[in-house]
Amino acid sequence: MRNIALRLKYDGSRYHGWQVQKNDITVAQTLEEALSKICEHPVKTVGCGRTDAGVHALRYCANFRTGCRIPTDRIPLAVNSRLPGDIAVVDAMEAPEDFNAIGSCIKKEYVYKILNSSIRDPFLEKRVCFYPQNLDLSLMQQAARAFEGTHDFRAVRSVGTETKTTVRTVYWCRAEKEGDLITVSVCADGFLYNMCRAMVGTMVYASYGKLRPEEIPELLEKGDRRLTGPTMPPQGLYLNRVWYEEPVGGMFLE
C-alpha cells in the first residue's frame, strides 16, 4: 500500500471542522469522498490536527493509504475536480511507510485575524473576527510574549478532547497590525482544545485593562479558565503552517 501525503487548504466556513462526524458535514468527510472516487475504494485520511467548526487552513497536511496506482502528480487535479470550491489539494507526494500527518508533526502555527474597525467588511464576515472596540496593540504584544515558553496551558483550554498532559511549549506568540487588521501568530508543539482562541481572548482582555500582561504567568500557574480571557470566535482562526522532522517525499510540509 502506498502512503500518500497531501498538502491542502480550505475555507472552513461551511464545515463542522476537520474530523468526520455522524450528522455534520466536515472537511475530512468531503475529502475522503472525493479520494474514494478517484482511488475506487474507501479512503480514510489522517489529518495533521483538529480544526473546529468555522476554522480555516492556509496549509494543512493529511495522509492516506491506497493501492491505486494513479501518479502522485495527477492526484491534485483529479481530486480537485471532485471537491467543492472551498477545499483545494495543492500537492501530493509519496510518503515514507511510517509517516503519519499528526503523529509525525513536530510543531504548528496558527494565525488569528481581527478586523479592528468601527465599520465591518461584509467580504470578510466569515474570514476575520470583527472587533469594533479599539484594541491597544502594544498591550496585546506584551501579553503575547507572556505566553511564550513551556507552561501548563489548562487556563486557556476549553473542555473538549482529553489529553495526557496540558503542558505545551509556545515557540512564539506575536501580534502585528497592518491598517485595521491585527494578526496574532502562535507557534507551538501542540495545541489544546480552543487554546489559541483563548490566548487571543486573553490578549484582548489585556488590551483594555481587564488583566495586566504581567499577570499571565501567574494565571497560567493557577490553571483556572475563569480567570483568563474569552474564547474568540472561530472565523478568525487559520492553521497556517505545519512542520516535520524530514521532508515528505520532495515536499517540505511547512
* Active site members: 52
Tally of residues, the chain: 254
Closest CA to 147 of 186, 108, 109: 186
Contact yes or no for 39/66 (Cβ under 8 A): yes
Closest CA to 61 of 127, 112, 9, 2: 9
Give me the phi and psi of 126, to 5 degrees please.
Answer: -105, 15
Closest CA to 56 of 100, 6, 111, 102: 111
Q: What cell was used for 57?
A: 487552513
Characterize the bridge pairing of strands 237-244 and 181-188. unpaired
The answer to whether the Cα torsion of 205, 211, 213, 218 is positive or negative is negative
Residue indicated by cell numbers 484582548: 204
CA-based diameter of the chain, in Å?
Answer: 59
